[in-house]
Every structure is written in C-alpha cells, then in structure tokens.
C-alpha cells in the first residue's frame, strides 16, 4: 500500500465519489447506505469475492445481530467511555426497527440476545437492499493498491488505485472510511489492512490479540478434554491474572473494579475448552494467566457433600456427583482428582478430604497453554487507538475526511450481539457525518 502527500497522476480515468468505504462487512454496509440516504455518492470496495461472510456464519448461521441490553460495561477498550456516544446515537432499538421494517423474524434467547429465526442471510439481504435502494455502488474481489492524499482539492482529499478483473482503476473521494475488520478468522476475510492504513496516516495502534476464542492445553488436561469432546457443562468462569502480566491486559481493573465472571455453558473439545463461558473469559486472559471454573455454580459444594455424608453415608461419591454432573464427566474427573475415592461410600471419606473436594468443585484452577488464535477467534482485541478518533463521528481528529469504524478500532464487545451492535452504531455515526 502506498501513501503519498501529493497528487499523483495516473493513466486511468478517475471516478469521483463523496465517500469510499473499504470493507463490505456489517459496519461498512450500514455506513454506506446511511450516507447514501443523505444524498452522498458512495462506493464500497471489498477484497473478498463475497459480501458479508462473517455475517453469514455468525450465531451458528442465525446471526446474533444485537442484544436488548446494550451498555458500555459490555465493551472492552483502553478508553471505556469511547463507545458511549455511538451506542447512544444508534442503539439496539434503532437496528431492531430496521429489522422489523424488513419483516425479518427474530427471537430472544438467554441473556437478552437477538437471533434471526430463519437465517443470517436475512440480515445480509436487508443490508444489501438498503444499499441498493440508496444507490450505493459495491465492487467485490478487488485490491486497494495505493492511497494518495492531496490538500489541493477539498472535494478529492483521497485518491485510490484499485485493481480488479486484471485492471487498474483510479478513484477519488472527499471522505475515506476504513471498515476492514481485523485479524480474526482470516478465511472469512480478516486481515491487517486497516492497521496498515492507520500506521500510514500516523495513528497509534494498541496491543492486539485474539478474543472470544477457545483455550488449548499441553499438559494432562489435553487428553482429559479430548476424552470429553462434545460434552457441555453449565459453569461459572473468571480469569485470575498473573501479577507479571497485569500491565499487559486490555482490561485493567482499578480499586473499584474486579474481573468479571461469566455463568454460561462450557464445551469440551479435542484441543481444550470452548463454549460461551470460555469465549467470554478469553477476552480477559493473557498467556500465563489461570482461570477459575466453578463446576457447580449456585451451589456450595462443601455443604452439599457434607450434608449428604450425614444423610446418605452409604452412597458412593461417584453416584452422588452424578446427581449434578454428567456421568462421563464424573468418571473422568474422579480419575483425574480422586482415583482412590470414587467407589468409596461418603461415610468413609474424612471431613477434611470432603471439604477439599467441595472447594475444588467450586474453584477448579487451571492454566491454559494458549488460545486457538486468530484462526477461530470471533474478534480481535485492541486495534486503532481511539485517542485520535472522534467518538461522535469516527473521524480522525487530525486527518480531515478519514474515518475508522467497526472492529478495526480498539473497541471489543462481549459475546452476545455486542460486536454487531458496535458495527451498526459506529457505521451509522460515520454515515451521518460523511
């Protein structure tokens, strides 16, 4: 990618637009039709051969497009207040109204998450129809090969060279919007293009890492997890920060904050653990950290075990555990933790040992070796620093007509429709400013 400070002459005809948006994902498409509905001539350029791949695969193909409960506390950023203005300007109810306008059937699931009843295709079709009605032009399967800036013509602040179909074409625009996404799931188009553009314009990047991503193990827990692959448990999970790593975290608790806990399902995989609870806590994990898993959330395991010892002393430990936990899991956890106690009646287990067992059930401390990385990560933590970005318009404060929206920015939502809502809100905020 080339960036220059002066006007560069090209051999190809220049096509002028009010705004060119790089990236045809959730944020880019909403930004495009928002601007076009205001009379702007808008072009969207997309590297992939298909539009909205991430939308189509999200939510198991049903697209968790927003959440009824959208608050700043569900987002992670070096500036936790940055997202507030955009979320207020275009909120979950605004997007739901758009969904209703297109008569898309949807349903509320746990934790007030909203999903399409039929298919994620409904959301993509809606976005593309809005774009078509507003006369947005979209080019796919193309590469932005150079971006040139000029201060000579305020109507043509940016000149782009785009290659597609073995041709090079020059375009100019007053406003350039970077909606390129980030590094997560490269097979769906994730890349670092947006970061490259940010650096070329002198913008700071915050630390980046895979987020909403499964954990892997390299110790005895690897075969343990593999033997239980496919099994789900309802658990409570939190992250226990390593003192050496505290300065590296995206979320830095102060004296009034603690790391959040998540009570959702956990899924065992052939490589480790996944599921909503694990994906959520991965946003707060850094290599070297441990996580705490409560296998019996809402229950005092010590009291439960000791009470049953008193009332049902002849019952075997394994039989009792199966009242609250799956048989296969009980079998494996006894082999791992208490191989000599599984078949013993509760009456033959001394009180101290039983108390230790209960505490371990409520506080299972494990240390993942790594995450699965960007290959399966749903989002990228960190990104373009918000210090240089207007929270009201998404425009770079020091670069007229340059905007960054969506995942490329240092704003990451929890699992549950929050990242899509950030895409809609940031895209709209830029769209009404173009």
pLDDT at residue number 6: 37
Count CB neighbours of 73 within 10 A: 9
Is the pLDDT at 246 greater than 70, yes or no?
no
Residue 289 buriedness (CB in 10 A; 0-12 / 13-18 / 19+): buried
pLDDT on residue 187: 72
- DSSP sequence for 282-336: HTT--TT-EEEEESSTTS-HHHHHHHHHHH-TTSBHHHHHTTTS-HHHHHHHHHH
**160, two tokens:** 């782009």
Least reliable range by pLDDT among 59-63, 76-80, 241-245, 381-385: 241-245
Confidence (pLDDT) at 190: 72
431 is written with which tokens? Answer: 């769209």
% of the chain residues with pLDDT over 70:
92
- Residue 328 CA to residue 339 CA, distance in Å, equals 15
Residue 390, pLDDT > 60, answer yes
What mean pLDDT is predicted for residues 18-43?
98
User: What average pLDDT does range 105-125 have in this prediction?
Assistant: 97
Cβ neighbours for 171, distance < 8 A, ≥ 6 positions apart? 14, 15, 16, 17, 20, 43, 159, 160, 161, 162
Measured CA to CA, the distance from residue 322 to residue 104 in angstroms comes to: 43
Q: Determine the Cα–Cα distance for residues 128 and 138; give it in Å rounded to an integer.
A: 10
Distance of alpha carbon 410 from alpha carbon 17, whole angstroms? 28
Among candidate residues 194, 177, 164, 146, the one with its CA nearest the CA of residue 48: 164
- Among 342, 353, 284, residue whose Cα is nearest residue 317: 342
For the segment 169-194, what is each residue's pLDDT rounded down to a tens digit? 999 999 999 999 998 877 777 788 99
**Fold entry, domain 215-371:** Elongation Factor Tu (Ef-tu); domain 3 (2.40.30)
Report how far apart, in Å, the C-alpha atoms of 104 and of each of 64, 122, 163, 262, 280 are: 13, 7, 36, 30, 28
Going by C-beta distance under 8 Å and a sequence separation of 6 or more, which residues neighbour residue 248? 207, 286
pLDDT tops 80 at residue 432: yes
| pLDDT level of residue 249 (50, 70, 90 thresholds) | low
Residue 254 pLDDT > 80, yes or no? no
Among 217, 231, 237, 238, residue whose Cα is nearest residue 332: 231
Mean confidence (pLDDT) of the chain: 92
Domain locations in the chain?
2-209+380-431, 215-371
Question: What does the CA dihedral 400, 23, 43, 116 come to, rounded to 10 degrees?
Answer: -120
- CA–CA separation, 403 and 425 (whole Å): 14
Question: By the 8 A CB rule, do 260 and 80 touch?
Answer: no
Mean pLDDT across 49-64: 93
Least trusted range by pLDDT, from 9-23, 64-78, 359-373, 414-428: 9-23
User: What are the residues facing 365 on neighbouring strands?
Assistant: 292
Question: What pLDDT, on the 0 to 100 scale, is given for residue 175?
Answer: 97
Model confidence pLDDT, tens digit, residues 261-307: 999 999 999 999 999 999 999 999 999 999 999 999 999 999 999 99
The residue count for the chain? 434
pLDDT of residue 200: 92
pLDDT score of 7: 37
CA 407/CA 403 separation, integer angstroms: 13
* Segment 78-89 mean pLDDT: 97
Please tell me whether residue 425 adopts helix, strand or coil conformation: helix
φ, ψ at 256 (rounded to 5°): -105, 5
Look up residue 11 and give its two tokens.
């051999």
CB of 42 closer than 8 Å to CB of 18: yes
Task: Give the pLDDT mean for 85-111.
Answer: 98
Q: Are 58 and 26 in contact (CB under 8 A)?
A: no
**What one-character-per-residue DSSP string does 221-279 give?**
HHHHHHHTTT-EEEEEEEEE--GGGGGG-SS---TT-----EEEEEEE-SSEEESHHHH
State in words which class domain 2-209+380-431 has. alpha beta
Of 298, 322, 297, which Cα lies nearest the Cα of 308?
322
Please report the pLDDT score of residue 362 as a whole number: 97
Alpha-carbon distances of 35 from 15, 20, 95, 430, rounded to whole Å: 18, 11, 16, 8
Write the pLDDT tens digit of every residue in 333-351. Answer: 999 999 999 899 999 999 9
Strand (E) or helix (H) holding 56: helix 53-57
190-224 pLDDT per residue, tens: 788 999 999 999 999 999 999 999 999 998 999 99
Share of the chain above pLDDT 90, in %: 84
- And the tokens for 182? 């980030």
């Amino acid at each position: 990618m080339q960036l220059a400070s002066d006007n560069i002459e090209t051999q190809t005809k220049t096509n002028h637009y009010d705004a060119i948006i790089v990236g045809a994902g959730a944020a880019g498409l909403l930004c495009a039709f928002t601007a076009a509905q205001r009379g702007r001539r808008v072009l969207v350029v997309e590297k992939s051969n298909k539009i909205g791949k991430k939308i189509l695969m999200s939510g198991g193909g049903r697209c968790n497009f927003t959440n009824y409960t959208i608050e700043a506390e569900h987002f992670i950023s070096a500036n936790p207040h940055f997202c507030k203005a955009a979320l207020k300007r275009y909120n979950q109810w605004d997007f739901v109204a758009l969904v209703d306008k297109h008569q898309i059937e949807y349903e509320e699931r746990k934790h007030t998450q909203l999903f399409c009843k039929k298919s994620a295709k409904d959301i993509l079709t809606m976005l593309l129809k809005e774009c078509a009605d507003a006369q947005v032009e979209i080019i796919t399967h193309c590469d932005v090969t150079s971006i040139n800036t000029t201060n000579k013509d305020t109507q043509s602040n940016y000149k782009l060279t785009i290659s597609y179909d073995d041709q090079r074409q020059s375009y100019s625009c007053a406003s350039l919007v970077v909606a390129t996404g980030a590094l997560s799931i490269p097979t769906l188009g994730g890349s670092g293009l947006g970061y490259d553009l940010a650096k070329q314009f002198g913008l700071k990047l915050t630390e980046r890492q895979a987020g909403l991503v499964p954990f892997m193990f390299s110790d005895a827990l690897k075969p343990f997890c593999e033997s239980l692959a496919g099994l789900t448990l309802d658990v409570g999970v939190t992250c226990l920060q390593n003192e050496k790593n505290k300065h590296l975290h995206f979320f830095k608790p102060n004296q009034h904050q603690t790391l959040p806990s998540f009570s959702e399902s956990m899924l065992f995989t052939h490589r480790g653990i996944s599921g909503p609870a694990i994906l959520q806590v991965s946003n707060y994990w850094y290599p070297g950290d441990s996580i705490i898993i409560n296998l019996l959330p809402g229950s005092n395991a010590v009291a439960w075990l000791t009470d049953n010892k008193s009332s049902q002393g002849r019952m075997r430990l394994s039989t009792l555990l199966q009242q609250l936990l799956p048989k296969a899991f009980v079998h494996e956890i006894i082999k791992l933790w208490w191989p000599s106690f599984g078949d013993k009646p509760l009456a033959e287990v001394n009180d101290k040992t039983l108390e230790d067992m209960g505490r371990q059930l409520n506080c299972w401390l494990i240390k993942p070796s790594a995450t699965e990385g960007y290959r399966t990560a749903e989002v990228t933590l960190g990104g373009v620093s918000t210090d240089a970005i207007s929270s009201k318009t998404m425009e770079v404060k020091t670069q007229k007509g340059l905007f960054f929206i969506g995942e490329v920015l240092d704003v990451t939502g929890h699992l549950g429709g929050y990242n899509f809502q950030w895409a809609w809100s940031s895209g709209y905020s830029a769209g009404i400013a173009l």
